[in-house]
Amino acid sequence: MKRVAIVGAGVMGRATAWALASRGAEVTLHEQFELEHDRGSSHGRTRIVRLSYPDSEWVELALEARAGWAELERETGRALLDLVGLVELASSPEATSAAALAAHGLEHRVLSEGEARALGVAPPEGWTAVLEPTGGIVHADLAMRALLDAALSRGARVEAGSHVESPDALDADVVVVTAGAWVRRLVPDVPVQVTRETVAYFAREGPPLLSVVELGEGGGHLLFALHDPRFGVKAGVHHAGVEADPDEAGEPDGDVVRRVAEWLRLRLPDVDSSPVAAETCLYTTTADERFVLDRRGRVVVGSACSGHGFKFAPFVGRRLAELALA
């Protein structure tokens, strides 16, 4: 039986532990902090899930990940996704994900301005809004717990408060590094940048808001809003933060909060755009927002989920497990 050590118990480390333990490996998951800390990238209550990506390759990965979430829900008997729908806003019909969704036979609908407004979303003038009924949210906190429990119930061990200085320090056949913003401390040549991003919360009551993603130039998401079970709405700007040292504490950026509030006022006019809370979260980013999933001898690196990785965790976990057992 292969002995695999995993460094980092964020969503990627936990998904990898689950995938490896399911394949019969002897797994030890090391986390430098307590398990439910908020100093990395995976804390908080919700993340957007969507199959909508303008690039068909990402749609495929999102579908594979979606199957993994369904498997985790079955295995743990817990509901983790809330598929309340997602509205994507883009500057032209060609810039939306409609063609990529259609190529995979996935349900979606281009909305008229009136239809978008009836859903509470006000697109910029001349823009296109596409509804993906199967988009929505993953309950991030519940998903983190479920991944860990599924891994533990299949025999994985977890060591919290276990800071790993180097992969060489671990007695294992293979070491998987899923250290998020700290990855370069363990594998220095991983080509990533770390930034501290700000998300803001807004008060809203009633049934969960559908998720909203506004695409920027180049097809990446630029601004987003989603349901938050505590306050009502969570919203943020993609890549508005400055480069950060993950070991230093950081405060929410007031300018970003104001920008998000103004966007919310324009795009979700039924929501009160006075922020009620804000927090930060670390992005670990590659230049093209793709993931690093590599094997280098005894070390496997999984990194750079670039602000959109959570939804892909079951896919990332499976790939890293395959690399570790190869």
Ligand X SMILES: Cc1cc2nc3c(=O)[nH]c(=O)nc-3n(C[C@H](O)[C@H](O)[C@H](O)COP(=O)(O)OP(=O)(O)OC[C@H]3O[C@@H](n4cnc5c(N)ncnc54)[C@H](O)[C@@H]3O)c2cc1C
Residues that bind ligand X (CB under 6 A): 7-13, 30-33, 40-42, 47-48, 163-164, 178-182, 186, 197, 199, 236, 281-283, 305, 307-311
Helix, strand, or coil (residue 8):
coil
Closest distance between ligand X and the C-beta of residue 86, in Å?
A: 10
Q: Closer to ligand X at the Cβ: 13 or 250?
A: 13
CB 101, CB 133: distance < 8 Å: no
Q: Closer to ligand X at the Cβ: 31 or 228?
A: 31
152 to each of 14, 49, 181, 196, how far by Cα in Å? 10, 25, 25, 31
Closest distance between ligand X and the C-beta of residue 113, in Å?
A: 25
CA distance 19 to 130: 34
Closest distance between ligand X and the C-beta of residue 145, in Å?
A: 14
Q: Closer to ligand X at the Cβ: 40 or 208?
A: 40
Q: Is 201 exposed, middle or buried (0-12, 13-18, 19+ CB in 10 A)?
A: buried
End-to-end CA distance of the chain: 13
Q: Closer to ligand X at the Cβ: 47 or 139?
A: 47
Closest distance between ligand X and the C-beta of residue 96, in Å?
A: 18
Closest distance between ligand X and the C-beta of residue 36, in Å?
A: 10
Rounded to 5, what percent of the chain is helix, strand, coil?
Answer: 30, 30, 40
In this structure, the number of other CB atoms found within 10 A of the CB of residue 205 comes to 6
Closest distance between ligand X and the C-beta of residue 311, in Å?
A: 4
Q: Closer to ligand X at the Cβ: 72 or 164?
A: 164
Q: What are phi and psi of 51, to 5 degrees?
A: -95, -15
Name the residue type at position 195.
T
The CB-side HSE value for 230 (13 A sphere, CA atoms) comes to 11
Which residue, among 48, 121, 45, has the nearest Cα to 90 in the 3D structure?
A: 121
Q: Closer to ligand X at the Cβ: 43 or 117?
A: 43
Closest distance between ligand X and the C-beta of residue 239, in Å?
A: 10
Q: Closer to ligand X at the Cβ: 179 or 257?
A: 179
126 to each of 14, 112, 163, 237, 258, how far by Cα in Å? 43, 11, 52, 22, 25
Closest distance between ligand X and the C-beta of residue 91, in Å?
A: 21
Q: b/e string for 3-26 if b means 16 or more Cβ within 10 A?
A: ebbbbbbbbbbbbbbbbbbbbebb
Q: Give the residue closest to ligand X by C-beta.
A: 10
CA distance 109 to 290: 27
